[in-house]
Chain A
Amino acid sequence: MKTILYLVQKEFLQIFRDKMMLPVIFAIPVFQLLILSYTATFEIKKIDLGIADLDQSATSSDLISRFSASPFYIMKEIKGNYQELEEQMQSGELEQIIYIPQGFEKKLFTKNNTAVQVVTDAINGSAASLMSAYSMRIISDYNKQFLVKELFMPMDYKNINTEVAYWYNPDLNYKTFMVPGILVLLVTVIGLFLSAMNIVKEKEIGTIEQLNVTPIKKYQFIIGKLLPFWIIAMFDLLLGLLLARFVFMVPMIGSISLVIGVAAIYLVLVLGMGLFISSISNNQQQSMFISWFFVMIFILLSGLFTAVENMPQWARALNVVNPIAYFIKFMRLVLLKGSSFADVSHLIASISIYALFMISLATWRYRKVS
């Protein structure tokens, strides 16, 4: 026990001797949590719209007024020709162009159908399909109204009223969703990278030999090495939770002690993984690349930014070995929805088994004689 304490003390001294370390471990994550949580929204509003009105009639301007009244659109340009607008889309100033052909009004009053073209910049495919749906709805509503008001046709007959309820987040506040996820990410990165680079650093500099000839036992060495990082990462997590609660007003319906308890296990998993990477690499550069490779994949597949449901089956299957995915899911369920121990027991079980597996693998792989 005493040996471990000495080792821990040595590690802490070593970590904080480096003046850059303190801001990197504490200030940057907090800063990132504060800033980046505001970035994540897929909401489509303020679509830059251009209209080519070749008809210039009362009806066409009536239709145009529907678009300018819609909260989704910013009317950038109403022109009498299409060419210029297309150039503006090419240079990225417009996202959508509505083309109203000549003779639009005349055809409508003679009950001939007429086409209105909707051109959407579709580089961002999902945004494009939403934008296109918005404009279709406006046009089809206008179509109906025109028939009822101008051509005196009967109103719709049967109707189903849809009423929507947004549970757990009635204001659709994106931050409450992002904050727990980004927090998980930051804690994981801190824990994984610190532990992945630590032992390999001793290898690279040669000090590992000195440690190897001391009478320290393997388990003492590993605990002594990992405990400081565990404490640092835990501290970061608590700091993040406080920020989440008091700055971002994340509801935190569920049990906080459950969150902290599972986080403690999760960090063992992360540190074990870091230790394992450390033991299979020859130098810090290698261990960093390997960690970076896995972190990148884990992050992007975890459902932090894009919903897991939308991924193909094989990508979802990969998430079986993705610790970030488990923990983000757990955090969101417990913090945002107040899920109980029983609801998330399968996640806790996965995290615990994974942690046990990883730490044993790392311990087994680490040999005192390098």
Chain B
Amino acid sequence: MRIFIIKEFLQIFRDTRSMIILFGIPIVQVLLFGFALKNELKNVPIAILDQSKDVYTQELSHKILSSGYFVLEEMLQSEKDIEVIFKKGEVKEVIVFESDFGNKLIQTQQADLQIITDASDPNTANIVYSYTQSIVRDYIEELNISSQKPVLIIPQTQMQYNRELKSVFMFVPGVIAIILMLVSTMMTSISITREKELGTMEVLLVSPVKPWQIIIGKVIPYVILSFINAVIILLISYFVFEMPFSGSLTLLLSVSLLFIVLSLSLGLFISTVSDTQQIAMLLSMFALLLPTILLSGYIFPIKNMPLILQYLSDLMPAKWFIIVIKNIIIKGNGFALVWKEILVLVAMTVFFIVLSVKKFKIRLS
């Protein structure tokens, strides 16, 4: 048994290229996504159509452009240009000042401002609009400074758990989950189907090693490798991204280990249903990659999805793991507040192991 595990280890370590990939990929990806994925609005290209060109329009334009959220791509000359510039695809918003904007504002106290957004991307359109609107609101307050009313109710905002609103807090737990899941699941499913495909599985099966020993021998090296991976990623999120890590470290590591075992058992299950590495890989890729990204709450909040998808998301192991990780790392919660999610993860693990053992036995008879 021990010899068998050692053999697997040797086989994995001998392949230096795979080793580089195995450890290099997660590190590169965590760093890349931790730094690159952001949802904060910054430097969005906009265009302005100023049909009035007076003090007010220039002041407001300046205010909008100096906010840091927007950069001016082009000053448009006529309404026809709006369509043209949108079709080129860079500009996300066009701000249109009506003609005589300033005069109207002085004479009738009212003026119209049109905000045209490129809503082919509705998410960005919405955010861009609300940012612009709040700048305009501020400007209106400034205009009315003479009749300024006292602010009696002072809202004090407090951003709990993430004072600086860093987006890494949202993305890093998801990246950890996805990388662990894909690496562990893919590795096991591929390495077992490989033996099948090359015909060496039969050789192993006729040897005096028992089937469950073969499986354990196959899986243990990957448990260890994935665990090292998990620790590296956690170290990066602590030292590079300055995640707080306010909860118990033991709990965090045990949950990571549990999640790795879950992913491996899922990989085991995939390997029992596929005959070739290609199928195993496509299954892990399709059944896991997109659903895990989209349905785990990693990028898109689950509670905004249609109800059926919310139920479907309950089936995603990553969803539960991400909840637990956020609770432990960011909120510093203990076992008492996350035991339910952990229980779900345990149940899923048991389910996949039982299922694969059954499948495996059938194949043998």
A interface vs B, CB < 8 Å? 18, 20-21, 24-25, 28-29, 32, 35-36, 38-46, 63, 89-92, 107-108, 111-130, 132-133, 135-136, 139-140, 142-144, 146-147, 153-154, 156-170, 172-174, 176-177, 182, 185, 189, 193-194, 197-198, 201, 204-205, 281-286, 288-290, 292-293, 295-297, 299-301, 305-307, 309-312, 314-315, 318, 329, 332-333, 336-340, 343-344
Our pick among A165, A182, A204, A309 for the contact of B124 (Cβ within 8 Å) is A309
In the complex, what's the smallest C-beta–C-beta distance from B39 to chain A, in angstroms? 4
- Across-interface contacts of B194 in A (CB, < 8 A): 283-285
Our pick among B144, B156, B198 for the contact of A205 (Cβ within 8 Å) is B198
- Across-interface contacts of A40 in B (CB, < 8 A): 294, 299-300
Give me 20 other A-B pairs in contact (C-beta within 8 A), A28-B287, A166-B122 excluded. A90-B333, A125-B169, A128-B159, A132-B157, A136-B155, A144-B149, A146-B153, A156-B144, A162-B113, A182-B290, A189-B286, A197-B278, A201-B278, A204-B198, A292-B186, A300-B36, A310-B38, A310-B39, A312-B35, A337-B86
With A and B bound together, what is the CA distance between A157 and B144 in angstroms? Answer: 6
- Across-interface contacts of B51 in A (CB, < 8 A): none
- Across-interface contacts of A21 in B (CB, < 8 A): 278-279
CB–CB A36/B139 < 8 A: no
In the complex, what's the smallest C-beta–C-beta distance from B23 to chain A, in angstroms? 11
- Tell yes or no: B196 within 8 A of A by CB: no
CB–CB A309/B130 < 8 A: no
- Across-interface contacts of A142 in B (CB, < 8 A): 153
CB–CB B114/A165 < 8 A: yes
Report which residue of A29, A127, A198 has the largest number of chain B beta carbons within 10 angstroms of its beta carbon.
Answer: A127
- Across-interface contacts of B22 in A (CB, < 8 A): 289
- Tell yes or no: B76 within 8 A of A by CB: no
CB–CB B123/A140 < 8 A: no
**Can you spell out 15 A-B residue pairs with CB atoms less than 8 angstroms apart?**
A20-B275, A119-B157, A125-B40, A126-B167, A132-B159, A136-B155, A139-B153, A159-B140, A162-B133, A163-B115, A168-B86, A193-B282, A289-B22, A305-B299, A306-B39
CB–CB B89/A297 < 8 A: no
CB–CB B119/A169 < 8 A: yes
Q: A24-B286, A166-B117, A339-B89 are in contact. Are A161 and B110 (CB under 8 A)?
A: yes
Closest to B282 in A: A24
CB–CB B281/A18 < 8 A: no
- Across-interface contacts of B18 in A (CB, < 8 A): 285-286, 289
Interface string of B141-162 (1 = CB under 8 A from A): 0011011011111111111111
With A and B bound together, what is the CA distance between A45 and B303 in angstroms? Answer: 9
- Across-interface contacts of A299 in B (CB, < 8 A): 293
- Tell yes or no: B88 within 8 A of A by CB: yes
With A and B bound together, what is the CA distance between A13 and B66 in angstroms? Answer: 62
**B246-289 interface (Cβ within 8 A of A):** 273-279, 281-283, 285-287, 289
- Across-interface contacts of A118 in B (CB, < 8 A): 155-158
- Across-interface contacts of A89 in B (CB, < 8 A): 160
With A and B bound together, what is the CA distance between A90 and B216 in angstroms? Answer: 39
- Tell yes or no: B37 within 8 A of A by CB: yes
Report which residue of B112, B149, B289 has the largest number of chain A beta carbons within 10 angstroms of its beta carbon.
Answer: B149
- Across-interface contacts of B160 in A (CB, < 8 A): 89, 119-122
With A and B bound together, what is the CA distance between A273 and B21 in angstroms? Answer: 18
CB–CB A166/B89 < 8 A: no
Q: A41-B304, A128-B162 are in contact. Are A36 and B294 (CB under 8 A)?
A: yes
- Across-interface contacts of A146 in B (CB, < 8 A): 152-153
Report which residue of A20, A28, A158, A189 has the largest number of chain B beta carbons within 10 angstroms of its beta carbon.
Answer: A158
CB–CB A123/B169 < 8 A: yes
- Across-interface contacts of B327 in A (CB, < 8 A): 92
Closest to A121 in B: B160
Closest to A330 in B: B89
With A and B bound together, what is the CA distance between A174 and B306 in angstroms? Answer: 13
Interface size range of chain B in the complex: 35 or more
Q: A163-B112, A309-B44, A310-B39 are in contact. Are A147 and B150 (CB under 8 A)?
A: yes
In the complex, what's the smallest C-beta–C-beta distance from A282 to chain B, in angstroms? 7
Closest to A347 in B: B89
Report which residue of B124, B169, B330 has the largest number of chain A beta carbons within 10 angstroms of its beta carbon.
Answer: B124
CB–CB B17/A282 < 8 A: yes
- Tell yes or no: B136 within 8 A of A by CB: yes
Closest to B89 in A: A333
- Across-interface contacts of A140 in B (CB, < 8 A): 151, 153, 155
In the complex, what's the smallest C-beta–C-beta distance from B199 to chain A, in angstroms? 10
- Across-interface contacts of A309 in B (CB, < 8 A): 41-45, 92, 124
In the complex, what's the smallest C-beta–C-beta distance from A159 to chain B, in angstroms? 5
CB–CB B115/A35 < 8 A: no
With A and B bound together, what is the CA distance between A285 and B197 in angstroms? Answer: 13
Q: A160-B136, A289-B25, A333-B87 are in contact. Are A147 and B149 (CB under 8 A)?
A: yes
CB–CB A167/B305 < 8 A: no
CB–CB B133/A293 < 8 A: no
CB–CB B279/A45 < 8 A: no
Closest to B43 in A: A309
Closest to A159 in B: B110
CB–CB B155/A139 < 8 A: yes
CB–CB A20/B279 < 8 A: yes
In the complex, what's the smallest C-beta–C-beta distance from B136 to chain A, in angstroms? 6
- Across-interface contacts of B134 in A (CB, < 8 A): 133
CB–CB A115/B157 < 8 A: no
- Tell yes or no: B180 within 8 A of A by CB: no
Q: A176-B120, A301-B36, A309-B44 are in contact. Are A129 and B155 (CB under 8 A)?
A: no
Closest 8 CB pairs of A and B: A125-B165, A166-B119, A126-B39, A315-B36, A122-B159, A169-B119, A122-B162, A336-B120
Our pick among A113, A295, A310, A340 for the contact of B152 (Cβ within 8 Å) is A113
Report which residue of A142, A153, A164, A300 has the largest number of chain B beta carbons within 10 angstroms of its beta carbon.
Answer: A164
With A and B bound together, what is the CA distance between A341 and B21 in angstroms? Answer: 40
- Across-interface contacts of A43 in B (CB, < 8 A): 123, 126, 304
With A and B bound together, what is the CA distance between A136 and B158 in angstroms? Answer: 12
In the complex, what's the smallest C-beta–C-beta distance from A307 to chain B, in angstroms? 5
CB–CB B110/A164 < 8 A: no
- Across-interface contacts of A176 in B (CB, < 8 A): 120
- Across-interface contacts of A173 in B (CB, < 8 A): 122
- Across-interface contacts of B203 in A (CB, < 8 A): none
Closest to B151 in A: A143
Interface string of B12-23 (1 = CB under 8 A from A): 000101100110
In the complex, what's the smallest C-beta–C-beta distance from B164 to chain A, in angstroms? 8
